[in-house]
Amino acid sequence: MSGVEEAGGDTAAGEETAPGAEAAESPVFSAVAVPEITVRWNQELAPALRDAVTEHGSLEPAGLLDALPELWRTVDAALERVGPGCLVTESVRHDAYEGWQVAALPRYDLDGGIRPQDRRDVVVQGPPARDRRALVQALVDAVAERPCLDLRDALRMLDVFAGIFPHGLDAVCHRLLAHDLRLGAAAGLAPLHEALRRRAPGRISATCYQESAVGSRKAKGDPATDNEDAAGAARGASGAVRCAVFDGVTGSGDGSGALASRAALDQAGRRWRMDEDLPPQQLVDELDAAIGRATAEGSAAAVLATVRPDGTASLVSAGDAEAWLVRPLRGPASTARELPFAAWKLTPAHTGYAEQLRITPDAEGEESALVNYLGNGPGRWTHSTLALAPGDLLLLASDGATEPERDRWFGAVLAELAAQIDASGRPPAPALAAALVQRAEALGGWDNATALVCAIGEAKDA
């Protein structure tokens, strides 16, 4: 599979060597000596995962998560056969007919031979950090608009483009990086994949709870305008539950953001009472127009959900208001540290930073500077659908309630809060809404914080 190509050698008999030629062909001395190793594959390689998705169409982005369990089994086999540290981003490959392929690169000695590996504990320990990073980069690279630069770039795109990427990809990547994965990647990721595939076996019920707070550092002593968030929910005649969170935006501090968010909620409420399932474009246009009638200055970020009795839900978002899904994991925990819940983000960000990151990994700037919102034309907005199951917690929140912590993914925060609430025996949905608002104040109280949590259960017989 590999070898070293040696440069130079003896001169053939009868050939003359020009004066100085030997010196000219000698390698220049360097303080760092690096061998040249040639890799020859003993079989045809399938296209790299990004090429398989974007060019060959052998795997659709929407079907990526369903196909991953087979990849993890192939990864475990590669690590057991070749040893740890054998993966790079280009190692993950896919063929339309043959399926997954892992091009494993063994470590080499200075003589070009394959370095012996101690593989006795590879499967028990799971993929080492280097291999995990390569897998995450490969997965993000496959669905991103541009090539993924490195792990930092991959994690930023997972956060900013959630909802555009397949739902749950962020949870898979973070579990891959942080979990012990004992007994291998396939076994370690199996509980999450079961949760991602879970669907309601019958009709569902939905009940919404909400909490909101001004934020101590945001308060200016005017109760009418200090809190510029607005949220609400209603149940229609068909049984569908509609809910929304609007986060008012004002640059002058004149309360126009509060006017905008309340005007949008009022318009949404009128539509909810009519129990019409409007096309998303018409809904967004009506909300935008309502804000325009209420204020010439204010605008609002928005996230809306419609939860139907058949177990499906649709989401519409504009700006930096967010939707998340918290779902319990089934089966016995493989380690004492494993949380019984998982969470993943359902909506992307519509900010100047997101627009830059879409085209370059060197994106910089204020991540809260909105480029798309309701008021003066909605610009870009997103619409997506998802399947729910009993036990789910669907979270809609303003950005103040999803304030990030340093070096900690918010999905891990949600999973930990859900686990603590579950262990305490408190009602999960109202307790989670309250915990998120309390957490926002504990982190400094810099912004209005609103959390609306929709608890999904089994529909009771009429």
Would you say residue 32 lies in a domain? no
Please indicate, yes or no, if residue 36 is contained in any of the structural domains. Answer: no
Residues 288 and 327 in one domain: yes
Cα dihedral: 322, 323, 329, 335 (round 10)? 0
User: Are residues 174 and 410 in contact, defined by beta-carbon separation less than 8 angstroms?
Assistant: no
Q: Is 340 left (phi over 0), alpha (psi -120 to 50) or beta?
A: alpha
The answer to whether residues 247 and 291 belong to one domain is yes
Q: Exposed e or buried b for every residue in 286-303, given b needs 16+ CB within 10 A?
A: ebbebbbebbebbbbbbb
List the domain range (segments joined by +) for residue 452. Answer: 204-458
In a domain, 16, yes or no: no
The verdict on residue 411 lying in a domain is yes
Among residues 137, 167, 197, the one where a domain terminates is 197
Domain boundary among 197, 229, 253: 197
pLDDT tens-digit profile, the chain (462 residues): 333 333 334 433 344 454 555 555 666 888 988 777 778 888 899 999 999 999 999 999 999 999 999 999 999 999 988 888 899 999 999 999 999 999 998 876 655 566 656 555 555 567 889 999 999 999 999 999 999 999 999 999 999 999 999 999 999 999 999 988 888 999 999 999 999 999 999 999 999 999 999 999 988 888 888 999 999 999 998 899 999 999 998 866 678 999 999 999 999 999 888 876 789 999 999 999 999 999 988 999 999 999 999 999 999 999 999 999 999 998 655 554 678 999 999 999 998 899 999 999 999 876 668 888 999 776 789 999 999 999 999 999 999 999 988 889 999 999 999 999 999 999 999 999 999 999 999 999 999 999 999 999 999 864
Amino acid at 442: A
Whether 242 and 268 map to the same domain: the answer is: yes
Residue by residue, DSSP assigns 422-435 as: HHHT--HHHHHHHH
Domain-embedded: residue 31: no
Is residue 424 domain-shared with residue 288, that is, in the same domain? yes
The enclosing domain of 54 has a CATH number of: 1.10.510
* Cβ atoms 343, 425 nearer than 8 A: no
Same domain, 174 and 222: no
171 plus 93 within the same structural domain? yes
Same domain, 368 and 414: yes
Residue 224 domain flag: yes
Closest CA relative to residue 453, chosen from 241, 209, 242 = 209
On whether residue 12 sits in a domain, the answer given is no
Q: Are 141 and 228 part of one and the same domain?
A: no
- Token pair of 157 as six digits: 């795109």
b/e string for 361-394 if b means 16 or more Cβ within 10 A? Answer: bebeeebeebebbbbeebeebbebebebbbbbbb
Under DSSP, is residue 231 helix (H, G, I), strand (E, B) or coil? strand
Candidates 79, 76, 335, 102; CA nearest to 184 is 76
160 shares its domain with 229: no
In a domain, 29, yes or no: no
Residues 191 and 56 in one domain: yes
| Of the residues 144, 168, 197, the one at which a domain ends | 197
d(CA 335, CA 312): 33
pLDDT at 300: 95
Instruction: Give the chain's domain count.
Output: 2
Please check whether residue 304 is in contact with residue 318, taking contact to mean a CB–CB distance below 8 angstroms: no
**Residue 358 maps to which CATH number?**
3.60.40.10
For residue 94, what are the β-bridge partners?
100
Q: Beta-carbon neighbour count of residue 66 at 10 Å?
A: 14
Q: What number of other Cβ atoms are within 10 A of residue 332's Cβ?
A: 6
* Residues 74 and 91 reside in one and the same domain: yes
Q: Do residue 186 and residue 208 come from a single domain?
A: no
Q: Are strands 299-307 and 241-249 parallel, antiparallel or unpaired?
A: antiparallel
